[in-house]
Amino acid sequence: MPTPSAPGAEARTALTAGIGCYLIWGFVPLAFQLMGRMGISPWEIVAHRTIWAVPVALAFVLAAHQSRQVLSVLRNARVMGWLTLSATLIGGNWLLYIWAVNSGRVLETSLGYYINPLLAMAAGALIFGERIDRFGALAIGLAAIGVIIQTLALGHLPVVSLVLALTFCGYAIVRKRVAADAQTGLLVECLLLAGPSLVYAIWLQGSGAGNFGADVSATAWLLACGPLTATPLMLFAWAARRIPLSFMGFLQFMGPTIGFGIGLSQGEAFTPVRAASFVFIWGGAAVFAWGAWRRSRAPATAS
């Protein structure tokens, strides 16, 4: 495995940031499940997730000195249109994910996020004209076989897995088209989602069904939704600019692997047919990571 491209201490810090973001994404289902056991619905969790992500995202924007970029984006109708679409996609992804992990479907969420990088590769070829090499084609083929086997195991399409993968991949495609840095885009997306979320949260509190302020524990967890949302996204954006693609290729499978372990430990059904589907998905993930490693080595070898 190659050494990170950034020198010395910054390389180690970037690698730590990359590992940190995927560790948070891997273990965050436990936090959502805990809130679910407190009686907090997925809708209320998502509402507070967007509301309390706003001050965290704002802090990141101020730290990056991007206040002027935020004002520029807010005045640009085209960019705001794209960010409204990306906010809708990521909001839907969050809602489905939280509902799934609180409904005993952690293994299905794991499958979705194993599929996602392979789906992104296919989308890159179809939409942006990116070239798929033999490793990419093999990875996509293995993932497709895994989805077919999972369909046989479930008796229907793995809808939760596919929708999670499609919404996150769609989010990535839209953000690729948006002329805004990660911090700016995240803040604007959170602001767009925070409006209806705040209305819903106020209505929920007024009806007596809200959990914010009901007790210290529930309130603390709802407040924690903000940093749990914004922090890993910022760690990812910072690390991705400073370490090789091959490292990110390996690291991005940490989250679904942790989720897979959580699902197994909680006794979710794991039949032999379902196991076979994951073997193909893991095979596709391994080929994807190997191909990314080879591509990152190619320029150094040629020079």
Give CA–CA dist 303/291, Å, rounded.
Answer: 19
Q: Is 88 exposed, middle or buried (0-12, 13-18, 19+ CB in 10 A)?
A: middle
pLDDT of 299: 54
Count of alpha carbons within 13 Å of 39, Cβ hemisphere only?
Answer: 9
Give CA–CA dist 63/40, Å, rounded.
Answer: 33
- Who wins on pLDDT, 257 or 77? 77
Q: What is the mean pLDDT of residues 249-253?
A: 69
| Among the listed residues 302, 300, 276, the one whose alpha carbon sits nearest the alpha carbon of residue 111 | 276
Report the phi/psi class of residue 50: left, alpha or beta, with left for phi > 0 and alpha for psi in -120 to 50: alpha
% of residues, the chain, pLDDT over 70: 88
On whether the CB atoms of residues 270 and 153 are closer than 8 A, the answer is no
Q: What is the mean pLDDT of residues 211-237?
A: 89
Q: What is the DSSP letter of 180?
A: S
- Who wins on pLDDT, 249 or 61? 61
| 6, pLDDT greater than 70 | no
Give CA–CA dist 45/222, Å, rounded.
Answer: 7
Give CA–CA dist 260/267, Å, rounded.
Answer: 11
Least confident of 41-55, 66-80, 104-118, 127-141: 127-141
pLDDT of 2: 42
Sign of CA pseudo-dihedral 189, 35, 104, 114: positive
DSSP code string of 5-22:
SS-HHHHHHHHHHHHHHH
pLDDT of 5: 45
